[in-house]
Amino acid sequence: MNTVERAIRRVDRYQQEHDWLGFPFGVIKKYGDDNGGRLTALLTYSAFFALLPLLLLLVTVLGFALGHDAALKERVVHSALAEFPIIGTQLGSHVHSLRAAGLGLVIGTAGLIWGARGLTQAAQHSMAEVWNIPGVDRPNFWTRQLRGAVLLAVLALGLVATTLLTALAGAGAQSAALHAAEIASSAALNTGLFLLAYRVLTPAVVRTRRLVPGAVLAGLGWLALLALGSYLVDHFLRHASEVYGFFGVVMGLLSWLYLGAELTVYAAEVNVVLARRLWPRSIVQPPLTESDKRMLADLAKQEERRPEQTVQVTFSDDSYPDQDAQRQPARQTRRQPSRQRPRPSPRSAPVTSRGEAGRLRQAARWPPATGGDGRGGDAAAG
């Protein structure tokens, strides 16, 4: 064991003995085991292509439902765009309601809903991967579509609640107490929405109470992201769109969606690590901890696709090998050919010269004369 490995193992032992360090490392390692970066990228990609259909659907529905109240319509749209503080204004200027009626409106609305379903399917897949649900236990196609529709309803409910909260905050006098109450209400609302979303997206085999810690973390994290985005807009990015144009809008939108997706996946990983006690985890192996073995077993059983299929996982002795014991047999194996020489066969004498080899071949080709009894000539003559 070299000096670097010895130092890493010392750090590994320390984090395994202290929960305040072992638990965050367990969450990070669980994120890596589940290919969390790939899940985050999938959510970002799906949200990017679902955002415009969702905004078009929102503006179209508001145009028919609140056509007589333009101020209320503008307030609802502003509440939706407030969730994207960096590029919300630019998005609002490029989104307009559908100008169709009758069958065309129905087809257009159905197309918008179908375009947004990609996000709901990607979110359900991500939650199933995070919880390592075997393929045989995952919901079927029609159940996923129904859950996707429920998720869109949850988003609509969140939009209505956010609009009401914004209206109540704007109606009162500005004070420190009111501002603190607004922040607490926003955090509670975000937590409730994340809990509903996790409940809809996560397979039914997971109990609802297992989803509460991650929902609280995601709700507070989303509030912090909104505050950070507002700060960046007010101090650095107010005129960024004039410099970078549409390219800046796209890059800002992708970055914001990626941060939101990463927060969602990490909060879900916190739920799993807490529910299954998947810490402490080892930095270097061997040996594997019990949490490592449970996680590896879950990853293997996740590949079950049929009811007839059963995946069983076993682990061999993972004690740290003795390097000196490994090197000693290797030295003996290398020295053995030099110490032990092959012994000559007792039936044949070794050939030591070319002349002796020639005489032996000559004797084999021309044997001496034998008598009628098969003995040598001398014996026959005698």
pLDDT in tens, 30-77: 999 999 999 999 999 999 888 878 877 777 777 676 666 667 666 666
Which pLDDT score, from 0 to 100, does residue 332 have? 43
Task: Flag whether pLDDT at 382 surpasses 50.
Answer: no
* Cis status of the peptide bond prior to 53, with omega within 30 of 0: no
SS3 label, residue 96:
coil
Torsion angle in degrees (nearest 10) through CA of 85, 90, 92, 93? 160
Q: Of 100-114, 192-206, 269-283, 333-347, which range is least confident?
A: 333-347
SS3 label, residue 206:
coil
Write down the pTM of the prediction: 0.76
Cβ-based neighbour number of residue 292 at 10 Å: 21
What token pair was written down for 67?
């056509």
Q: Of 17-31, 146-160, 248-262, 309-323, which range is least confident?
A: 309-323
SS3 label, residue 302:
coil
**Closest to 131 in 3D by CA, of 278, 306, 250, 345:** 278
Task: Flag whether pLDDT at 141 surpasses 80.
Answer: yes
CB 128 within 8 A of CB 203: yes
Q: What band does 235 get if pLDDT is binned at 50, 70 and 90?
A: low
Spatial distance between the Cα atoms of 157 and 31, rounded to a whole number of angstroms: 30
What token pair was written down for 292?
């490592």
Which pLDDT score, from 0 to 100, does residue 146 have? 93
CB 209 within 8 A of CB 230: no
